[in-house]
Structure 1
Amino acid sequence: MRIELVNTGDELLLGDTINTNAAWLGQQIAALGLMVSRHLVVSDGAVIKDAIAEAAGRSDVVLVSGGLGPTNDDLTRESLAELLGLPLELNEGIKTHLEAYFAKRNKVMVSSNLKQAMVPRGAVVLDNPFGTAPGLYFPAELSHSRGWDTHFFLMPGPPRELKPMMETLVEPKLRSLLPDGASRAIRYFKVTGLGESDIVERVEKKLEAVPGLILGYCIRQGDVDVRLSGQPGPVEAGTAIVNEHLSDHIISTDRRLMEEVVVQELAKRGQWLATAESCTGGFLANRITDVSGASRVYGHGFITYANEAKTKHVGVPSELLEQHGAVSEPVARAMAEGALKASGADHALSLTGIAGPTGGSEDKPVGTVFIGLASKDAETRVIKAFFPGMRDRFKLLASQTALDLLRRRLFGLRLG
């Protein structure tokens, strides 16, 4: 099945808005065992008509996001209706939804909003409880007059409206369009602590030897996604290879991020985490609290950027700082153990390092970081790492390593 995406909006082309819809839709479609063959971004207005026609001429399915609003340059529904020769008709159900939507918000619905209640004859309305723009599905038979055999899905542009519509209405329809007997699988492995070249060295030749298996990588900051796709048999064979040779470097197989895995495992165990951060300045705490449910596992976060704060808030002895310096194994250890004691948590992570670009020395160059993990029922562990480069990259990789240290302890893996 050949699928194309068309995203509309001047803001996407100007760079004012990052096109997250395309990435998310690609992932959702891949999870169905399918793949987007082409993705096109066009401006608002009449050009959308040409874009849809071009995509329809070579595709089984065209998904369009954006251009369903009430303004004069929102022309997606009108463009497709014109292409297919379908008259627009007022849909009383949508009109009622619009009136209720505005009444609930104590706003007056202006006449231009009625444009959104106009539906091309034969199109199926996709309800949108989160906004004013309903989606539309055009079965392939509506395109036969143009010599096409293409299904069209029109969806709103705002992600808060597009995502639930895609998950609850569009994806089930896409599954139903798959030919009988079609079977395709896709598996993701989120891997940390290994670079792409390391992964290639460990598994690529073995995976390439599996007939019918398609291998792909997506390099991210802090981890690498390894993607296996194909028929279920080859994917299962590839899965066994990845599990054997990447083993404890695999964070998740369901695309969860490191912080999600850690927070959810702590919640499952009923355990609490505290943090003491110097060089990352709260970045680790931010990642943890980005996870829904973090309040059940995370109670204390100490940002001890200055030496005085390390002593005052987590009890690092001043003589330890004087003797070894803030960026050292003994101080990372004392920070973790001090945070554990001050918070009463089950585990505490600490980070102290040199983010740069200044402040390094021959013994402790920019990018050096010490990471400590103290736990109630285990020996404190401190590791030294080196992440030279930009400050934001340093913070991300340092926090990733800290979370991985805790993940390994929680799952009984080797601590590096």
Structure 2
Amino acid sequence: MKIEIINTGTELLIGDVINTNAAWLGQCFVELGLEVSRSTCVPDGAAIQEALGEACARVDVVIVTGGLGPTMDDVSREGASAVFGLAMDFDDEVLAWLTAFFASRGKPVNEHNKRQAMKPRGAIVMPNAHGTAPGLYLPAELGAARGLNCHVFLLPGPPRELKPMMTEQVVPVLRSLLPDGNSTECRYFKFTGMGESDISMALQGALEAIGGLEIGYCLGKGDVDVRLRGSVAALDEAGTLCREKLGEFLVSDDRRLLEQVVVEKLKEQGQWVATAESCTGGFIASRLTDVSGASGVFGLGLVTYANEAKTRQLGVPSALIEEFGAVSAEVAAAMAEGCLQVSGADHALAVTGIAGPGGGSEGKPVGTVFVALASKGRATEVRRRSYPGGRDRFKMLTSQTALDFLRRRLSGFDLPGE
């Protein structure tokens, strides 16, 4: 099944709005085992009809986002009507719904809003629970008179309206269009702590030997996704292979992020974590608390940016800082151990480093960071890492390393060496 996406809106082309719909829709299709052959972005107006006509002539399904609003440049309905050679009708049920919607807000339906009750003759209305623009589905048979054999879905542009409509109404129709026996799926195996080329070297040959797999690699922020598409049997075999070869580096096989995996493992083991951060300014704590349910496993996060704060809040001896420097293995260990004692947690992560662009030295250049993990009943471990570059990159990679150290400990793997 060939699929195209047409995102409409001049605001997308001039940069006023970032086009997140294309990426989100692409991921939806991947999860269905389908692949988008082309994604196009066009301005409001006549370009919509032109793009839709070209797409309908070459693919099986077209998804159009935007152009369903009340203003005169919202012409996705009219464009589809012209491509399929269909008259435009008012839908009485939609008009009644719009009338009630605005009446509940003490307003009448104006003539522009009434345009949203129009549809190409024969199109199926998809209710919009989050806005005033209903979606429309034009089955392929509506284009038979013009030699078209393409299913068209017109969806609203705002993501909060598009996403539930796609998930709840479009996806079931797409599943019904798939041929019997279609069992192609796509899975993502997320790795961290290894480079993209090293992962490829370790897996590529063995994955190719399975047969029937489409293999792709995607470099993320501190991790690498290995994207595999194929039959369920092939994917199961590939999953076993990934665990056997690179199990200690495997974060998830279902697109869960590192912080989600850490929170879930802490929950499973009934344990808590606390953080003491200097150079990352609370970013590790932020990532943990982005996960729903983190309050059950994360009790305390301290940002001890100044040396005095390290001493006052964590009990790091000032003499230790004077002797080894705030950015040192010794201070990182003391921060983690102090955090463990202060918080009463089962684990404590601590980081101290030089984010730059200034502050580096020959022995400790910009990008140097020490990551420490202290756990009850275990010796504290510290590792030195180097992440030169911008401050955002430094914070992301440092937080990734810290969270991965905890994931490894919770999973029974040793921490990596220097």
User: Which segments of 5 or more consecutive residues in structure 2 lack a partner in the other structure?
Assistant: none
User: Is the counterpart of residue 22 in structure 1 residue 22 in structure 2?
Assistant: yes
2:370 corresponds in structure 1 to 370
2:189 corresponds in structure 1 to 189
User: Is the counterpart of residue 317 in structure 1 residue 338 in structure 2?
Assistant: no
**Matches of 2:209 and 2:88, distance apart in 1:** 54
Which deviations, in whole Å up to 9, do the C-alpha atoms of 1:236-282 show, x marking residues without a partner?
33223222212121111110111111122223334332211111112
1:304 corresponds in structure 2 to 304
1:134 corresponds in structure 2 to 134
**Matches of 2:287 and 2:295, distance apart in 1:** 13
* Inter-CA distance 347–99: structure 2 relative to 1 (3 Å threshold): farther
1:328 corresponds in structure 2 to 328
Q: Given residue 236 of structure 2, which amino acid in structure 1 is its aligned partner?
A: E
1:220 corresponds in structure 2 to 220
| Alignment of structure 1 residues 241-280 onto 2, 5 Å | 241-280=241-280
Deviation (angstroms), 1:108: 5.5
Which deviations, in whole Å up to 9, do the C-alpha atoms of 1:359-415 show, x marking residues without a partner?
111111111111111223433222211111111111100000111011111122222
- Corresponding residue SS for 2:286: helix
User: Is the counterpart of residue 150 in structure 1 residue 150 in structure 2?
Assistant: yes
- Corresponding residue SS for 1:379: coil
1:10 corresponds in structure 2 to 10
Q: Given residue 220 of structure 1, which amino acid in structure 2 is its aligned partner?
A: G
Deviation (angstroms), 1:84: 1.3
- Corresponding residue SS for 2:301: strand
RMSD of aligned C-alpha atoms?
1.7
Q: Given residue 86 of structure 2, which amino acid in structure 1 is its aligned partner?
A: L
State TM-score, norm by structure 2.
Answer: 0.95
Q: Given residue 152 of structure 2, which amino acid in structure 1 is its aligned partner?
A: F
1:357 corresponds in structure 2 to 357
Deviation (angstroms), 1:104: 5.2
2:49 corresponds in structure 1 to 49
**Matches of 2:192 and 2:104, distance apart in 1:** 47
**Matches of 1:250 and 1:399, distance apart in 2:** 17
- Corresponding residue SS for 1:86: coil
Q: Given residue 48 of structure 1, which amino acid in structure 2 is its aligned partner?
A: I
**Matches of 1:172 and 1:401, distance apart in 2:** 40
**Matches of 1:376 and 1:96, distance apart in 2:** 65
User: Which segments of 5 or more consecutive residues in structure 1 lack a partner in the other structure?
Assistant: none
- Corresponding residue SS for 2:261: helix
**Matches of 2:322 and 2:140, distance apart in 1:** 75
More deviation in 224-233 or 194-203?
A: 224-233
**Matches of 2:293 and 2:104, distance apart in 1:** 30
Q: Given residue 282 of structure 1, which amino acid in structure 2 is its aligned partner?
A: G
Q: Given residue 251 of structure 2, which amino acid in structure 1 is its aligned partner?
A: I
**Matches of 2:325 and 2:99, distance apart in 1:** 66
* Inter-CA distance 378–357: structure 2 relative to 1 (3 Å threshold): same
- Corresponding residue SS for 1:313: helix
Deviation (angstroms), 1:216: 0.5
* Inter-CA distance 383–238: structure 2 relative to 1 (3 Å threshold): same
**Matches of 2:158 and 2:267, distance apart in 1:** 32
More deviation in 297-306 or 218-227?
A: 297-306
Deviation (angstroms), 1:15: 1.9
Q: Given residue 353 of structure 1, which amino acid in structure 2 is its aligned partner?
A: G
User: Is the counterpart of residue 392 in structure 1 residue 379 in structure 2?
Assistant: no
- Corresponding residue SS for 1:129: coil
* Identity fraction in percent: 59
**Matches of 2:275 and 2:401, distance apart in 1:** 14
Q: Given residue 287 of structure 1, which amino acid in structure 2 is its aligned partner?
A: R
**Matches of 2:105 and 2:94, distance apart in 1:** 17
Tell me how many residue pairs correspond in the alignment.
Answer: 416
**Matches of 1:294 and 1:101, distance apart in 2:** 39
Would you say the 8 A contact 2:192–2:249 is kept in 1?
yes
Deviation (angstroms), 1:90: 2.3
**Matches of 1:257 and 1:374, distance apart in 2:** 23
**Matches of 2:395 and 2:141, distance apart in 1:** 54
Would you say the 8 A contact 2:210–2:234 is kept in 1?
yes
More deviation in 113-122 or 399-408?
A: 113-122
**Matches of 1:324 and 1:169, distance apart in 2:** 62
| Alignment of structure 1 residues 62-141 onto 2, 5 Å | 62-103=62-103, 109-141=109-141
